[in-house]
Structure formats: C-alpha cells, structure tokens
Amino acid sequence: MLRRVVVTGMGCVTPLAHNVSNTWSEMLAGRSGVARISLFDPANFPSQIAAEVKNWSCSVPCLPRQTQFALCAAEQAVAQARLSHEVIQPSRLSVYMGCGEIFPDLQTITELVGKSLGESGFSPEDFYRQAQGQSFFQGSCEPCDAAMRIAAAVGAEGQVANSITACTSSSLAIGQGAELIRHGDADAVIAGGAHSMISPFGVSGFARLSALTTEWNDQPELAMRPFDITRSGFVIGEGGAVLVLEDREHALARGAEILGEVTGYGAGQDAYRLTDPHPQARGAVTAIRNALADAELRCDDIDYISAHGTSTMMNDRMESRAIKKVFGDQAKSVPISSIKSMVGHLTTACGALQAIACIQSLLHDAIPPTLNHQSPDAGCDLDFTPGEARELACRHILSNSFGFGGQNISLIFSRR
C-alpha cells in the first residue's frame, strides 16, 4: 500500500517578499513584483523589465543568486517543519530540487577576454589560465549545487537529485519527491526549486525566442497579462520555493503540523516541438488526467486550478484548451488563476511557488487573482479570477506546469 504524502513546511523568496506569509499577503492584495531591471543596464534590450527579488542580501554573497534563494527557502521550510536529526534518521531524509542553468557574470567574462587580447588577437590559452580562479568555472555554478548545499546544511543522507526540465523542473521535483515517500524510500523530502535568469544571457535568450513582452517597458506592473487578449509575452522572474514533504504517519507520530497533502501527480509529453506546445494540448491533457487518476478524483472534485498561465499567446490558449478537454462542461465553473501575473515567470522554480500558493489557498480559504486580466480572449473563455482575490473553501486544487520541450506536469494538493 502506498504511503500518503503531506506537507509540513514551506519557505520562499519571491519578487513580492522574502517569506511565505508576506508573499501570500501580497498575492491576495494583487500586488505586482515587476519593475525595470536593476541587476544590469537593460537600455539596449527590447524587454527592459523583470520581477526581481528586491532588497536582497545573503550571508554567503559569493554564491549564485538562485543558490542563495534555494538555501533561504529551504531554511524556512525546515524550520517550520521542525525537522532535525532528533526526529528523522539522516538516511531517510532526501533532497529533490528543480534548479536551472547558472549564467556567468558578463562583466567578469568581458574583463577576462580583454586581458586575453594580445597583438596577435585573442588567446584562448590566456583566457583559460586566468579563468581558473573564477567561480563561474567551479562547482558553485552547477545546477545541482543548491540541492547538494541543502543536503549538507540539514545532514540529508538519502537520495539527493536535481531536475532540469524547463518550466516543469520544480513540479517534477515535488512529484518525484512524493514518489520516494510513497514507495518507502524516504520518510521526508525537501523538494522545490530556484532560479535566476535575470542577466544579459537570460534576457537575450528569451528575447531571441520572442517569448518576452516588449510593449510595457514604461508600465511594468501591467506587463504580465495571462489569458488576456492583449497579452504579448511573459516577464522573467526569479526566486526560490521549497516544501518539506513527509510520510503522513511519520509526521503524525512526531507531532508535526500538517499543512496539506500531495494527492496527485501526473506527467505528459507533447512529443511535438522544442518551443511550441502541441496545438491540441495532448501532453497537458495527459498530465491533468494522470494527476486526477493518481489522486482517484473526478473533475468535479477540483475546486480551483492554479494555472501555468505564462501570458504568451500560444501557451494560454493551449492551457485553456487542455482544461476544456479534460473538464468538459465543468470547465467554465471552476475558478482558475495565474500567480505569474504578479511574480513573473520563475522558470524552473515556478511550479514550487505555485505549490506553496495552493497550500496557502487550502489553509486560508482564498485564491489569488489573475492580475491585468481585463479583456477576455475568445480562446480563453474561462473563469480566470480577474483582478481581485476570492474567498473560496477548497478541498482539492490542481496545479499545472507546462514547459519548453513539451514537458507537462500536473499536481493535486488536498486539504489536510
């Protein structure tokens, strides 16, 4: 018999705040974390806005931002869960994160290239020799660095892993972390994700894909417009979100507070194109149906859907189509919203932050709004909770994450 998986701790660092409570308050208030980029000069970029983590300082400033975010979020989650070696064997504690690529500092690279220019031109040998002492050539820039550092900080001696599956990375980490517990391979898993792509490399890459909005540089708070007919692309966000997943019986035995339960996990692959979702949303449909089957729930059991909702023309229409295909006539009666409208797209970390928002909805009988949803799209004609948060007592919540490469993950969170 599979074991039940509950959430006993949560932590986050977001463009809205540096912890769960304040982030949740800002979401319910419909605040936007989007502003002009300050981490570098964006004047020559077509998209000059992002959702940065503001007023950020860390005790280990030499680490990449995403690693800092992950460590801070994990510390919060572990503290709330009261997880220690006194209550869990180190070999039964695992870490599963979804953290993406880390970009080297452009200024540092430019300086090294300058120092490697001689009379005969650029010298690769000089560049490599000088680069040996730079951190971006060392282990701290590995995507798995955050997971390993979290494991070291808490003394987790079980399985430690990091997934990189684009925008589904941290949702996959939560799903796979839950599977470790379900099948008895761990008693608790620290799971989540972190990312920061707000750099010249990250912004340039998404700009070349025409994924970023370029129309709202002068009004950044209006830029993220999921499911609205005037949407024109997403805004990059950054941050970290971590949950402590735990075997329900283990949590009860040690007197831990149970915040919610992970009841469904489903995956589906488009098998179509690298950057475009399948026009019939087949991977997303499969993921949602698999999550419902895993949770042994019907469509009418779902009280709210936390949408992937990226504010891109194709993705929002695809997600709407997937929901309609799975939910049928019930699709228009289930409330939906996208927290990306406030925090931007946290890329590999977005699913974990959605998971935290879902648990908060279960705990507080409220759902966050979709900011800037003012003019409905004929292809997105569902209830997207426009503008204002809504009081809603939820039993079961579906959370969608759909990523580049046709990867689709759906999770279901249920009331404790």
Residue 62 has pLDDT above 90, yes or no: no
Sign of the Cα torsion 99, 105, 109, 110 reads: positive
Residues 154, 130 share a domain: no
85 is catalytic: no
Model confidence pLDDT, tens digit, residues 365-374: 999 999 999 9
Percent of the chain with pLDDT over 90: 84
CA 174-180-186 angle, 5° bins: 115
Of 411, 351, 4, which Cα lies nearest the Cα of 187? 4
Of 300, 359, 308, 360, which Cα lies nearest the Cα of 332? 300
Of 332, 358, 340, 328, which Cα lies nearest the Cα of 402? 340
Residues 238, 115 share a domain: no
Residues 253, 128 share a domain: no
Going by pLDDT thresholds of 50, 70 and 90, the confidence category of residue 192 is very high
167 is catalytic: yes
Q: Which of 278, 345, 373, 396 is catalytic?
A: 345
> Bridge-partner residues for 398, per DSSP?
305, 412
Q: Which of 12, 99, 167, 380 is catalytic?
A: 167
* Rounded distance between C-alpha atoms, residue 326 and residue 310, angstroms: 20
The residue among 117, 137, 157 that closes a domain is: 137
Residues 162, 131 share a domain: no
pTM (2 decimals)? 0.95
CATH code, domain carrying 384: 3.40.47.10
Residue 185 has pLDDT above 60, yes or no: yes
Within 274-320, strands assigned E span: 304-306
Q: Do the beta carbons of residue 94 and residue 180 sit within 8 Å?
A: yes
Residues 324, 300 share a domain: yes
Residues 72, 9 share a domain: yes
124-131 and 106-115 helices, crossing angle to 10°: 130
Residue 295 has pLDDT above 90, yes or no: yes
Predicted local distance difference test score (pLDDT) of residue 233: 97
183 is catalytic: no
State the greatest distance between any 2 C-alpha atoms of the chain, in Å, as a whole number: 72
Q: How far is CA 99 from the centre of its chain?
A: 9
Strand pairing report for 188-196 and 93-99: parallel
- For residues 135 and 301, the model is more confident at 301
Predicted local distance difference test score (pLDDT) of residue 139: 55
Predicted local distance difference test score (pLDDT) of residue 141: 76
DSSP letters of 379-394?
TB-S---BSS-EE---
Residues 405, 257 share a domain: yes
Model confidence pLDDT, tens digit, residues 130-159: 777 665 555 567 899 999 999 999 999 999
- For residues 178 and 112, the model is more confident at 178
Going from the C-alpha of 112 to that of each of 61, 63, 87, 128, 140, the distances in angstroms are 21, 20, 49, 9, 19
End-to-end CA distance of the chain: 20
Residues 120, 55 share a domain: no
Residues 132, 36 share a domain: no
Residues 40, 55 share a domain: yes
Residues 266, 304 share a domain: yes
Of 181, 235, 186, which Cα lies nearest the Cα of 213? 235
Q: How many domains does the chain have?
A: 2
* Rounded distance between C-alpha atoms, residue 180 and residue 287, angstroms: 19
Of 407, 6, 36, 382, which Cα lies nearest the Cα of 182? 6
Tell me which residue range forms the domain holding 204. Answer: 5-103+141-414
| Tokens linked to 279 | 């026009």
> What own/partner pairs with CB < 8 Å and gap ≥ 24 does 247-250 have?
247/3, 247/4, 247/5, 247/6, 247/181, 247/187, 247/188, 248/3, 248/4, 248/5, 248/6, 249/3, 249/4, 250/88, 250/187, 250/188
Residues 308, 196 share a domain: yes
